[in-house]
Amino acid sequence: MSPPLSQPSPTPDTLTPLRLKRVAIDTYRENVAYLHRECAIYRAEGFQALSKVEVRANGRRILATLNVVDDACIVGPDELGLSEDAFAQIGVPSEHPATVSQAEPPTSISALHRKIAGERLTHADYQAIVRDIVDHRYSKIELTAFVVATNQGELDREEVYDLTAAMAGVGRRLDWKAHPVVDKHCIGGIPGNRTSMLVVPIVAAHGMLCPKTSSRAITSPAGTADTMEVLANVEPPFERLQEIVHTHRGCLAWGGTSELSPADDVLISVERPLSIDSPGQMVASILSKKVAAGSTHLLLDIPVGPTAKVRTVPEAQRLRKLFEFVSRRMGLTIDVVITDGRQPIGYGIGPVLEARDVMRVLRNDPRAPHDLRQKSLRLAGRMLEFDPDVRGGEGYAIARDILESGRALERMQAIIEAQGARAFDPEHPDLAPLTFEVTAPQDGMVTGIDNLHLARIARLAGAPKVQGAGVDLLHKLGDTVKAGDTLYRVHAAFPTDLGFARQACERTSGFMLGSPADLTDLHVEF
């Protein structure tokens, strides 16, 4: 109810400088400063362990959480220790003089309190909050408070726009000097859903500029960047990436969010452990990055299914409206498609297995997964229709022609070469050697496949860290199987991993077997 009492930080001249020391402790995103308990300034200032302090050296300043040390081998009484990240941020050598003082509370803290109290915030409030977040002025506690207070239902659509605009405003912004600059994005949650690796070469082959950046896996067994990494280097220097995009009209690289959406990069550090992914935050996170990446047109894929992120079509429709509203305000052309998310896409789950599926589609190999091919062609078709010269409805046929003629494969190979090819033989993919199979307990039709459980099994098996690990599905929804038929095969590199994966499979296979009547249809576009 009453606001916090802010401690003014004393002026530098009131402070005795300490000698800076790099403390070789990796505290991830959190800056930690280490002061010896006998340090004069510590005693004078009455710091507390976990107080937020401001460290100044050579004109630079960073904020850090204070840990108090009683071991001179870590820091001495006249030293100021910084965790590795913090030390890198302040960017001065060891032994350099530095001062430390109580950190002023971030100016946007009052806005945060109003949000916690359930009030509506203004455009200016979000600008201030995002600015403070990017400057690392928020503690983990304050970040979490912001994420939870702006969660589900707490933000109206105007606020979602304000947050998106603020997040897009603080990062670097790319300009491809072209129009349209097209991009596609899936809200995620569906294992094996590697359509970008097919859509990009098709759209690029058509001549549209499609500089696709993707994320690595966060809680999934593989992100597009992880799978592409099986085939090529996904982190070429930015200048090189620009050349590639201008030469080949497309790329498939790792996003490196930290530059394009630094606020998102910080927020994710608390959203991830809480697995909070509310509509407002999802929209702000995705659209701020797309705008910062210089996209003018976005095709957004919202998969729906009982084990997808979005469980029902009405929920997907609400999310679609929110994406449309904010995109319009951001000046971004968006086309939202609601797709079938009842099961994984393709056969493979895990980087190498997914790369195999993708290459089979590009090579028009009869063993290519039908669903991955169809979905990719449909998405590519919709994207092609961003081209004013393509008539509505013609996209799909053009996309199919580009794929079947081999021009998509050609373009993909060019992009792979340009980014830096990795040795990969789709005929003999380098799968993790240890395996076991999960079989059907009785005859029946596959009427359900649990995305979450299969993703979990693939992760326990070692994906994405172990590229060749994961799950290879032998059957999909609608298939009829006999008792003893193999439903899927698990690949792992280490016995421990294989053991964890087997434990998970023993609890439940993730497959539901039943009669055709149990296979409920989902009324989505595709």
Report CA Rg, the chain. Answer: 26
- Residue 8 as a binder of a second copy (CB under 8 A): the answer is yes
Selected from 135, 158, 235, 277, the binder of a second copy by CB under 8 A is 277
Please give the Cα distance from 134 to 129 (Å, whole number).
Answer: 9
- Residue 504 as a binder of a second copy (CB under 8 A): the answer is yes
- Contacts of a second copy in 353-412 (CB under 8 A): none
β-strands 182-186, 297-304 pairing: parallel
14 Cβ partners below 8 Å, 6+ apart? Answer: none
Whether residue 496 contacts residue 436, with contact meaning beta carbons closer than 8 Å, is answered with: no
Q: Which stretch binds a second copy (CB under 8 A): 157-165, 456-464, 473-481, 482-490?
A: 456-464
- Residue 49 as a binder of a second copy (CB under 8 A): the answer is yes
Q: How far is the CB of 110 from a second copy (least distance, A)?
A: 11
- Residue 48 as a binder of a second copy (CB under 8 A): the answer is yes
**Residues binding a second copy: number (CB under 8 A):** 75
* Secondary structure class of 97 (helix, strand, coil): strand
Distance between first and last Cα of the chain: 50
Cβ-count burial of 24 within 10 angstroms (0-12 exposed, 13-18 middle, 19+ buried)?
Answer: exposed
- Residue 40 as a binder of a second copy (CB under 8 A): the answer is no
Instruction: Residue 399: name the closest of 164, 152, 251, 202 by CA.
Output: 202
Q: How far is the CB of 279 from a second copy (least distance, A)?
A: 9
Nearer to a second copy, 43 or 172 (CB): 43
Q: Which stretch binds a second copy (CB under 8 A): 17-25, 164-172, 325-333, 361-369?
A: 17-25
Q: Which stretch binds a second copy (CB under 8 A): 157-165, 353-361, 479-487, 500-508?
A: 500-508
Q: How far is the CB of 216 from a second copy (least distance, A)?
A: 13
* Secondary structure class of 473 (helix, strand, coil): strand
Strands of the 297-304 sheet, one edge to the other: 182-186, 297-304, 333-340
Please give the Cα distance from 291 to 380 (Å, whole number).
Answer: 20
- Residue 141 as a binder of a second copy (CB under 8 A): the answer is yes
Per-residue buried b or exposed e for 136-172, using 16+ beta carbons within 10 Å of the residue's own CB: bbbbeebbbbbbbbbbeeebebebbbbbbbbbbbbbe
Q: Which stretch binds a second copy (CB under 8 A): 3-11, 164-172, 232-240, 442-450?
A: 3-11
What are the CA-CA distances from residue 138 to residues 126, 134, 168, 288, 517 (Å)? 14, 9, 19, 20, 53
Q: How far is the CB of 484 from a second copy (least distance, A)?
A: 28
- Residue 506 as a binder of a second copy (CB under 8 A): the answer is no
Q: How far is the CB of 289 from a second copy (least distance, A)?
A: 19
- Residue 2 as a binder of a second copy (CB under 8 A): the answer is yes
Please give the Cα distance from 208 to 389 (Å, whole number).
Answer: 11
- Residue 50 as a binder of a second copy (CB under 8 A): the answer is yes
- Residue 306 as a binder of a second copy (CB under 8 A): the answer is no
Selected from 92, 178, 276, 522, the binder of a second copy by CB under 8 A is 276
Q: How far is the CB of 258 from a second copy (least distance, A)?
A: 16
- Which string of DSSP letters, residue by residue, matches 325-347? HHHHHHT-EEEEEEEE-SS-SSS
59 Cβ partners below 8 Å, 6+ apart? Answer: none
Nearer to a second copy, 73 or 423 (CB): 73
- Residue 113 as a binder of a second copy (CB under 8 A): the answer is yes
Selected from 17, 19, 30, 317, the binder of a second copy by CB under 8 A is 30
Residue 277 designated active-site: yes
* Secondary structure class of 435 (helix, strand, coil): strand
Selected from 194, 206, 297, 309, the binder of a second copy by CB under 8 A is 309
In the numeric block, the tokens 């200048």 are attached to 239
- Contacts of a second copy in 189-208 (CB under 8 A): 189
**What is the contact mask toward a second copy in residues 147 to 186, using x (rule: CB under 8 A)?**
xxx-xxx---------------------------------
Phi then psi for residue 347, to 5 deg, are -100, -40
Q: Which stretch binds a second copy (CB under 8 A): 169-177, 252-260, 399-407, 453-461?
A: 453-461
Instruction: Please pick, among 26, 132, 264, 277, the residue that the annotation labels catalytic.
Output: 277
- Residue 107 as a binder of a second copy (CB under 8 A): the answer is no
- Residue 54 as a binder of a second copy (CB under 8 A): the answer is no
Active-site annotation, residues:
277
